[in-house]
Structure 1
Amino acid sequence: MYKVESNFYSVPSLDKSPASYDNQVAELSDFYKKIAQEELREDDSTREKSLQQMRDWIAKNPNIRKCRTDTPFLLRYLRSKKYCINTATETLEKYLAGRVLHPDWFKNLDVQDPELGALVDSGYLFPLLERDSQGRTLIFNDTAQLDPTKYTAAHVTRIHLLTNEALYDMPEVQCAGVVMVYDLSGMSLAQLSLVSLNEIRILAGYLNNGTPMRIREFHFVNTPSATLTIVNFALQLLSEKLRERVFCHKNFDELYTKVDRNLLPKEFGGKSPKAEYIAAFKQHCLKLRDKLNNSDLMDIEISKDSKYWQESHSAELESGAIGSFRQLVVD
Structure 2
Amino acid sequence: MSKQYEFTLDEDDKKYLAEHLHESDQSRNEALKEIRNWLIEEKPDLHARLDDKYILPFLRGSKFNLEKTKTKLTNYYVMRRDRSEWFRNRDPTLPELQELVKLGVFVPLKLSSENRLVVIIRTAAHNPKKHKMEDVFKVGKMVLDVAAMTVERTQIYGIVAIFDMDGVGLAHALQLTPSMIKNAVHAWQNYHCKPKQLEFINAPVHVNVMMNVFKSFMSEKLRKRVKVHFKGTDGLYHNVDRSILPPEYGGDGDDMESLIGYWNRTLLSYREWFADDEQYKAE
Q: TM-score range by the shorter chain?
A: over 0.9
Q: Describe the shift of the 1:206–1:285 C-alpha distance in structure 2 as closer, same or farther (beyond 3 A).
A: same
Aligned residue-pair number: 280
The correspondence of residues 7-156 of structure 1 with structure 2, limited to 5 A, is 20-64=1-45, 66-132=47-113, 134-156=114-136
- Select which of 241, 256, 263 maps to 1:281: 263
In structure 1, distance between residues paired with 2:65 and 2:88: 28
CA apart distance, 1:154:
0.4
Q: Describe the shift of the 1:282–1:31 C-alpha distance in structure 2 as closer, same or farther (beyond 3 A).
A: farther
After the TM superposition, which parts of structure 1 deviate over 3 Å for at least 4 consecutive aligned residues?
none
Aligned residue identity for 1:221: I
CA apart distance, 1:109:
2.6
CA apart distance, 1:252:
1.1
Instruction: Tell which structure's C-alpha radius of gyration is larger.
Output: 1
Match of 1:11 in 2: none
Partner SS, residue 284 of structure 1: helix
Checking the alignment, whether the CA contact within 8 Å between 2:242 and 2:250 is kept in structure 1 is yes
Partner SS, residue 175 of structure 2: coil
In structure 2, distance between residues paired with 1:71 and 1:108: 25
Match of 1:230 in 2: 210
User: Within the alignment, does 1:201 sit opposite 2:182 as a pair?
Assistant: yes
Match of 2:281 in 1: 299
Moved more, 24-33 or 93-102: 24-33
In structure 2, distance between residues paired with 1:81 and 1:168: 16
Give structure 1 stretches of 5+ with no counterpart.
1-19, 302-331
CA apart distance, 1:62:
4.7
Give structure 2 stretches of 5+ with no counterpart.
none
In structure 2, distance between residues paired with 1:185 and 1:171: 31
The percentage of counterpart residues that share the same residue type is 26
Q: Describe the shift of the 1:31–1:282 C-alpha distance in structure 2 as closer, same or farther (beyond 3 A).
A: farther
Q: Describe the shift of the 1:294–1:259 C-alpha distance in structure 2 as closer, same or farther (beyond 3 A).
A: same
In structure 1, distance between residues paired with 2:153 and 2:34: 23
Deviations 1:78-100 (A, max 9, x none): 01111111111111111111111
Aligned residue identity for 2:142: L
Q: Under a length normalisation based on structure 1, what TM-score does the superposition of the two structures give?
A: 0.81
CA apart distance, 1:168:
2.8
CA apart distance, 1:201:
1.8
In structure 2, distance between residues paired with 1:172 and 1:299: 25
CA apart distance, 1:176:
1.1
Checking the alignment, whether the CA contact within 8 Å between 2:21 and 2:63 is kept in structure 1 is yes
Q: Name the Cα RMSD after superposition.
A: 1.5
Match of 2:194 in 1: 214
The correspondence of residues 308-319 of structure 1 with structure 2, limited to 5 A, is none
Q: Describe the shift of the 1:26–1:149 C-alpha distance in structure 2 as closer, same or farther (beyond 3 A).
A: farther
CA apart distance, 1:232:
0.9
Match of 1:171 in 2: 152
CA apart distance, 1:140:
0.5
Aligned residue identity for 2:133: A
In structure 2, distance between residues paired with 1:167 and 1:49: 27
Partner SS, residue 290 of structure 1: helix
In structure 1, distance between residues paired with 2:208 and 2:46: 42
